Amino acid sequence: MENEVKNIVTDERIDRYLDITARALAKIKIAAPERSFNRRLADSFMEMAQAYYSDAKHFRETGDLVTAFAAVNYAHGWLDCGARIGLFDVGGDDRLFTLYE
């Protein structure tokens, strides 16, 4: 790893990011009450994250690693944002998510 080139999206790198985001998706629980406006926001954030994650897997399968890398980062960004503003309960996991405190 010491000599690893940092500006190239490799199969291993994209697979690592896809795995991290898959684990984050599996961990999230919606925190907002069912009939609240925030629940609609949480559902929308999840839909966006899942759509970008699905796109990332598709691009990975077709060999477009750069677009896959962009899509998986967008997916995780939606998850991080939802966790940080309290739409998602992530059990205090500050390794998979960027929490406020």
Over the stretch 65-93, which tens digit does the pLDDT of each residue have?
A: 999 999 999 999 999 999 999 999 999 99
**Domains of the chain as residue ranges with CATH:** 11-89 (1.20.1270.90)
As beta bridge partners, residue 29 has 89
For the whole model, what pTM was predicted? 0.91
Q: Do 96 and 37 touch, CB atoms closer than 8 A?
A: no
Measured at the CA of 38, the angle between CA 37 and CA 40, to 5 degrees, comes to 70
Interval 40-69: pLDDT, tens = 999 999 999 999 999 999 999 999 999 999
